[in-house]
Amino acid sequence: MMNKIIGTLHVMWYESYMINETLDSIQAAIQNTTDDVKLVICLNSQTYIEQPDPGFEPIKMFDEFLSHPVLANATIIHKTDEDSFYNIGDWAREIYGLDYDAKYVVWLESDCLVPEDYFFLLQHININLPHTISLSNRKMWDSTWDMVEHEYIQPIPRTGPPEEPQRNTPKPYGVGDYINQTELDDFNRQYEPKLIELPYPKIDGCMTAVSRGFPYPFMHEDVHIGGHDYYMECFMRKNHIKQFHMSTRLKGHNCAHPKKRIGTSTPRGGVLYKKYEKMCSDQIDKLIYE
């Protein structure tokens, strides 16, 4: 189908306790469109970076949400410690390369609620060139993100301390605040949909929709974790690819969700994480300077 949307979701095992909420959101958005939306989900139980706490078994933690009805017709892919290291960058790159012939491949996110009319709006956008579509953010960390914040939220000042200037944003409009589906939908219903063209790409990996015909591969095979979205942004700038933005549709990105990391007390930033992060940054440097 020409209007088919592929919703892709990469779930780490320790995120399992918040996923039912995300799947409820995706299901509601699917029900608000008559066209074909297909879900493709990666269940990642790898423990290369994060190790489980006593009493938690990664592969079994997915049982928290696998009975959700929206998954009945989903394609589910598993990655385990029997596979080489695999993470969100690999997923974003590889899933687009599969032959789905979709109008958009969407980077859904484990901690992000979807606007109720999101898929409906995507299926009624007609842009005949390779591009991405982004959703609006709440108050982000610094002014470089202003243009992808929601129109209502952009004028709100950052009054927090220098290291976290967004912190004092009125709830729930700060990047670290939790927003539920009712708050999200009530907020979005106040504004008519608006799509604008950005002067240059500013990519947030959460809820990026990649159009049909996008140059591929758009991400180097060494980009696993620690900056896949910035790599994509640099790729788009270098190749003069446009980003369009839903400036009046807020996404519910709960990046500080209280259930985001259940069952592991391993902090990110260890030796292996830094290794893969440097591999990504090295490829970004090559992309920019070569």
**pLDDT value of position 174:** 84
Mean pLDDT of 107-134: 97
169: part of which helix (H) or strand (E)?
none
pLDDT tens sequence across 248-290 = 999 999 988 999 999 999 888 889 999 999 999 999 999 999 8
Q: What is the pLDDT of residues 234-255, one digit of tens each?
A: 999 999 999 999 999 999 999 8
Distance (Å, whole) CA 101 – CA 27: 22
Label residue 2 by pLDDT band (50, 70, 90).
Answer: low
- pLDDT for 206 equals 94
For the chain, the helix, strand and coil percentages under 3-state DSSP, each to the nearest 5: 30, 20, 50
3-32 per-position pLDDT tens digit:
899 999 999 999 999 999 999 999 999 999
pLDDT higher at 172 or 55: 55
The whole-chain average pLDDT of the chain stands at: 94
What is the reported pTM? 0.95
